[in-house]
């Protein structure tokens, strides 16, 4: 794809977002309402059903929080971030998610084992130094089945270990993120404690939500010599696409991070050939194809395939 075409495609969505994106705001209200129904009503009818419903609302809430950090649904950053500051999913502080995700949007660093905070690739030199048992766990984590089963635990351990090291080193931004997060966790746990939903069931719903989110992030990015060839398009419009708020049109999101979720499919459809040329054809038809290809089989190795192991 020529540089002029790339520039043209990056300029396609020109409309200034509305002062209030009512679709997104209404979805926030519906999401929190669904969470409340699951915790306070369904739990008294069926614990299993409440786990499913609460888990799905937590997936949707995570996707809405992703919208928040990209400047939706209000033009005011403070107003938008007030919606996402309390995380009913418990495990990830909003400010830490915001800071690491915005760092991830430096496309030149995508898949870099050190500079991309969301990658699962490992420096081949470090890989050789890992115990075989750890290598095996990471290899399991590199299949979709493994990513859903153990991926949330691996990611949480690595995330908290990194943040703990940062806090011990005096990183005040990381301290602030966790400091603002803890009161919200206490409040959510208290609400669950006074509801019919058992704490263990709520924690299971939180883990299940993280597991579903791993479907989205599993192959969003691949190792590629060109930065523009690292980001996927999954042309899905089903339930998972809705839960992920169309972030499966991922190269469109990376090229136009300010475009709201409900416009992404239309932007892609209008210029699909340009986006597919830009990302070197890194594309799946839908999530069914992703499951068929990678549920039991890794899409590539854990050591970064483009990094030398001889350093």
User: 38 in a domain, yes or no?
Assistant: yes
Contacts of 22 (CB under 8 A, 6+ apart): 73
Q: In this predicted model, what pLDDT tens digit does every residue of 86-101 receive, in sequence order?
A: 999 999 999 999 999 9
What confidence score (pLDDT) does residue 55 get? 98
What confidence score (pLDDT) does residue 113 get? 94
Range of the domain at 136: 3-294
Q: In this predicted model, what pLDDT tens digit does every residue of 9-25 receive, in sequence order?
A: 445 555 455 689 999 99
Go through 93-121 and write b for each residue having 16 or more CB atoms within 10 A of its CB, e for each that does not. Answer: bbbbbbbbbeebeeeebbbbbeebbebbb
What confidence score (pLDDT) does residue 40 get? 98
126 has a pLDDT exceeding 60: yes
User: 236 in a domain, yes or no?
Assistant: yes
Number of domains comprising the chain: 1
| Residue 206 near residue 91 (C-beta atoms within 8 A) | yes
What confidence score (pLDDT) does residue 269 get? 96
DSSP 127-150: HHHS-HHHHHHHHHTTSHHHHHHT
User: 56 in a domain, yes or no?
Assistant: yes
User: 244 in a domain, yes or no?
Assistant: yes
Question: What CA–CA distance (Å, rounded) separates 149 from 4?
Answer: 43
User: 232 in a domain, yes or no?
Assistant: yes
User: 300 in a domain, yes or no?
Assistant: no
User: 209 in a domain, yes or no?
Assistant: yes
pLDDT average, residue stretch 31-41 = 98
Residue with tokens 């400010």: 95
Question: What CA–CA distance (Å, rounded) separates 136 from 293?
Answer: 20
Burial of 37 (0-12, 13-18, 19+ CB in 10 A): middle
Which of 97-101, 160-164, 296-300 bottoms out in mean pLDDT, i.e. has the lowest?
A: 296-300
pLDDT average, residue stretch 33-38 = 98
42 has a pLDDT exceeding 90: yes
Tokens of 263: 């416009």
Residue with tokens 């943040």: 163
User: 115 in a domain, yes or no?
Assistant: yes
| Residue 256 near residue 207 (C-beta atoms within 8 A) | no
Count CB-CB contacts under 10 A for residue 28.
20
Tokens of 287: 């999530």
pLDDT average, residue stretch 305-310 = 82
């Amino acid at each position: 794809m020529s540089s002029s075409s790339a520039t043209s495609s990056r300029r396609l969505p020109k409309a200034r977002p509305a002062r209030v994106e009512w679709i997104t705001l209404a979805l926030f209200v519906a999401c929190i309402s669904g969470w409340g129904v699951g915790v306070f009503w369904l739990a008294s009818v069926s614990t299993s059903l409440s786990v499913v419903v609460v888990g799905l609302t937590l997936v949707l809430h995570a996707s809405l929080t992703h919208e928040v950090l990209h400047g939706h649904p209000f033009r005011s950053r403070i107003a938008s971030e007030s919606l996402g500051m309390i995380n009913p999913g418990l495990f990830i502080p909003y400010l830490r998610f915001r800071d690491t995700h915005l760092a991830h949007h430096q496309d030149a660093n995508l898949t870099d084992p050190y500079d991309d905070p969301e990658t699962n690739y490992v420096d081949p030199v470090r890989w050789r130094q890992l115990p075989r048992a750890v290598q095996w766990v990471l290899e399991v984590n590199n299949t979709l089945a493994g990513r859903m089963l153990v991926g949330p635990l691996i990611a949480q351990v690595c995330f908290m270990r990194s943040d703990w090291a940062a806090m011990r080193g005096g990183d005040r931004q990381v301290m602030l993120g966790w400091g603002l997060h803890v009161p919200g966790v206490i409040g959510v746990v208290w609400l669950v404690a006074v509801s019919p939903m058992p704490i263990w069931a709520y924690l299971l719903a939180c883990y299940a939500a993280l597991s579903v989110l791993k479907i989205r992030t599993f192959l969003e990015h691949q190792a590629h010599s060109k930065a523009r060839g690292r980001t996927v398009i999954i042309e899905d419009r089903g339930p998972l696409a809705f839960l992920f708020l169309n972030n499966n049109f991922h190269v469109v999101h990376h090229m136009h991070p300010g475009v709201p979720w409900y416009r992404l499919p239309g932007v892609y459809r209008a210029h699909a050939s340009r986006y597919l040329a830009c990302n070197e054809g890194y594309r799946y038809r839908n999530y069914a194809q992703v499951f068929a290809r990678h549920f039991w089989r890794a899409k590539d190795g854990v050591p970064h395939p483009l990094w030398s192991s001889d350093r």
